[in-house]
Amino acid sequence: MLLQLLANGLVNGCMIALMALGYALIYNTTRIFHVAHGAAYTAAAYLCYLLLIVFKWPLLLAVVGGVAAAALLGVTMELAVYAPLYRRGASDLISLISSLGLYVALVNLIALLFGNETKVLRPGVEKTCRLLGVILTRIQVAEVVVAAVLLPLLVLFLKRTLWGKIIRGVRDNPVLAEVLGIDLMAVRIAVFAAGSALAGMAACLTALDVGMDPQVGMPVLLTAAVALIVGGVGTFEGPVIGGFLLGLIQSLIVWKISAQWTDVITFGVLIVFLVFRPEGIASRRRRLEESAA
């Protein structure tokens, strides 16, 4: 029983980690509390449903379409809303309110087009795989495999490649990065595309596993934000660690208490970290002058 719950927690943690890394890419680089990230998540799941169920596309193409739609939506939100605000020197509060408005508008549009009922992408009994007494569906195995491939590759990309160094440079000091000739708008577009694509991948896989409804984006977004804070704001590996930690904790809560307490315990973990370790698990070492500032 415990092994099964831990396996379920691993699967859940994989999807939280994907969502949290996508959110971290955007937040760490732009400092925008991107609430509409949840709308990109929801839109990807519904486009995957539209392509798979309505238009009868092959499963792989439907997932690719959902991921591409999330990336395109993220870039559109940056170009249409955030970039103009950034150029005008708008405050973080204005960006937050604008993002919240985007989320509400997009989610209500999805509900208007598809209805509020839960959509199931793969009706019937899903084929399962058994290993060491642990039973996982094929979709859950796919979730683990995708996360096991994407997460290490993306973290290595951010640490070892030129574009990764540019993104980290903009994260650390956007003014200095711009003085050195880095195109900030190009970097912002890139992180919105990549971060939204990660959200889209998590959304499509989760929707294939458990279905979705128009309101599914907000709780996933908040869990990803908690994973970012627990793992360490400003890091990219931290949200991955925080995502897996929350996934395992939520699974143990279901085992020992009740699924109704998962949100309470999740935000309880957030409060504990904010009080006792606000820098998070994988906090970055800062230079002496940064600490003094």
* Residue 102 forms part of a structural domain: yes
Total structural domains within the chain:
1
Q: Which helix (H) or strand (E) holds 251?
A: helix 238-256
Q: What is the largest CA-CA distance in the chain?
A: 60
Give the pLDDT confidence score for residue 240 in this predicted structure. 95
DSSP state, residue 134: E
Q: What is the mean pLDDT of residues 31-48?
A: 96
Helices (H), 31-173: 37-49, 59-77, 83-87, 92-114, 138-160, 162-172
* Residue 254 forms part of a structural domain: yes
Q: Which of 103-107, 115-119, 260-264 has the highest mean pLDDT?
A: 103-107
Give the pLDDT confidence score for residue 225 in this predicted structure. 96
Note the pLDDT tens digit of each residue in 229-240.
999 999 999 999
What mean pLDDT is reported for the chain? 92
Give the pLDDT confidence score for residue 140 in this predicted structure. 94
Confidence of residue 254 (pLDDT cuts 50, 70, 90): confident
Burial (CB count within 10 angstroms: exposed 0-12, middle 13-18, buried 19+), residue 87 = exposed
Give the residue with greater pLDDT, 173 vs 131: 173
Give the pLDDT confidence score for residue 74 in this predicted structure. 97
* Residue 290 forms part of a structural domain: no
**Two structure tokens written together for 146:** 């995708």
* Residue 291 forms part of a structural domain: no
Instruction: Kindly report the CATH number assigned to the domain that includes residue 219.
Output: 1.10.3470
CB atoms within 10 A of CB 20: 35
Contact 154, 24 (CB under 8 A): no
Contact 4, 70 (CB under 8 A): no
**Two structure tokens written together for 116:** 């509020």
Note the pLDDT tens digit of each residue in 206-246.
999 999 999 999 999 999 999 999 999 999 999 999 999 99
Note the pLDDT tens digit of each residue in 74-106.
999 999 999 999 999 999 999 999 999 999 999
Give the pLDDT confidence score for residue 284 in this predicted structure. 61
* Residue 176 forms part of a structural domain: yes
Give the pLDDT confidence score for residue 286 in this predicted structure. 53
Name which of 94, 275, 70, 86 is nearest 193 in CA terms: 70
Range of the domain at 20: 2-285
**Two structure tokens written together for 11:** 């699967």
Burial (CB count within 10 angstroms: exposed 0-12, middle 13-18, buried 19+), residue 250 = buried
Cα 146 to Cα 114: distance, rounded to the nearest angstrom: 28
Cα 134 to Cα 129: distance, rounded to the nearest angstrom: 8
Give the residue with greater pLDDT, 256 vs 167: 167
pTM metric for this prediction: 0.93
Confidence of residue 127 (pLDDT cuts 50, 70, 90): confident
Cα dist. 156→24, 208, 230, 279 in Å? 15, 28, 21, 22
Three-state DSSP state, 131: strand
* Residue 293 forms part of a structural domain: no
* Residue 58 phi, psi (nearest 5): -60, 150
Q: What is the mean pLDDT of residues 168-187?
A: 94
* Residue 111 forms part of a structural domain: yes
Give the pLDDT confidence score for residue 6 in this predicted structure. 86
Give the pLDDT confidence score for residue 289 in this predicted structure. 40
Using a pLDDT cut of 90, give the percent of the chain over it.
83
